[in-house]
Amino acid sequence: MGVLISTLYRIWAINYPPTPPKNSSAIRVGILSTAWINSLAIITPSSSHPGVTIAAVASRSLERAAAYAERFGIEKWYGSYEELLADPGIDAVYIPLPNGLHAHWAQRALEAGKHVLLEKPFTSNASCAQALVNFHNSLPEPRPVLLEAFHFRFHPAWRFFLSLVAPMRKDRIEEASAQFSVQSGFFKPNDIRWEFDLAGGALMDIGTYSIAALRDVFGTEPEEVLGADVRMHENGGEGKVDEGVKAWYQFPGGGVGSIDGSIAERGWFGLPRIRIPKVMVKGKEVEVKGSDRAGNGEVHLKRRTLTMWNFPGPHFWHSIQILDQHTIRRAADGLTIKSWAESEYKTAYTWAWMATKIQDAAHWSTYRHMLDQFINKVQGKEGSGVWISGEDSIKQMKAIDDTYEKARLPVRLARS
């Protein structure tokens, strides 16, 4: 009951956060598009940040922009993205446009001197990602900030989970898996995710989370895509758009990682199915040196499995299980003498420093944590230390490209 109550409270707090007065030096942010994600990803999180003001919104329809601005209390609105970027009163932009437009408008924003918070996936493909990062690096210092908006990677729960994984890296991870799906019917038939020309597909949407999770878990890049199975969307992109994907990757040290995701998850008889997202890391069996549990001629072995439930949205609820499977074996012939399991569960909703600086951190969603680090970087302040570099975003896009190629599907293209 206590878990349910705390979860409900966090849901309420995240949607209705405190609204402190804005600083006189608050960063003025403009939003390119009126996408539904804006409220969750930038508008609501910024309301609790004294250093951020949502100052403008742009759409290709002036009427739509005006209605959106009135709905969310945004002071300026524009009927084109170019007009917003030309506004000298805008310091930074958030870009949640369709995937195929990310590279073009991120570069346009950087050219205009705006800091850029760019929705994932970073671009349509690795070549576009490399070109965008090269352009960003070519700008004179102090250059604008460019960040891929991979929100879950900024949350303390994910960082805590990775701290548990860290001792298992190099050659102690046997396998890892990341599962994240959305039930069939969640995205409508006319959703941009079904458009190949807009760089749509499950791997570009849900799959990006799972691939990023595996890369973080192993702390390195996959050496090879071992296999990739896709389920195609019946009407998407003339047979080029995937609605579900499973893939397997070989990582350095011998570990194998896998992803399983869908943006139209179905169960029996084609009915929508809901699965709790999770990341599981299974370690190799290792000897417990100096154990007092093993007698003469016996060895004490331990295998650790770490599982994090709801890794994409840990701010609402999450659970991290630490499961240790112990085995006592006879050294001479490997016969099992005894075995038992030890399990504990952990959560991490705040950073250590937040306990003393923030009275109630329940409203800090993954997006709020990400926004905080973005603004810290813009203002040259020290933050949590979590960041996603341009090089990281390039490697992420390469893993996506390699997966599509293994599945014999075309790499996604960019548009202007």
Catalytically active residues, by annotation: 120
Cα–Cα distances in Å, from 292 out to 286, 288, 296, 325?
A: 16, 10, 10, 16
DSSP string, 252-310: TTS-EEEEEEEEEEB-GGG-B-----EEEEEEPPEE-TT-SS--TTEEEEEEEEEEEES
Q: Could you tell me which residues are beta bridge partners of residue 57?
A: 31, 77
Please give the Cα distance from 119 to 130 (Å, whole number): 16
Amino acid, res. 244: G
Residue-wise burial string across 390-412, b where 16 or more C-beta atoms lie within 10 A, e elsewhere? bebbbbbbbbbbbbbebbebebb
Contact in structure between 113 and 144 (CB atoms under 8 Å): yes
Please give the Cα distance from 213 to 207 (Å, whole number): 10
User: What is the enclosing helix (H) or strand (E) of 227?
Assistant: strand 224-232
Amino acid, res. 210: S
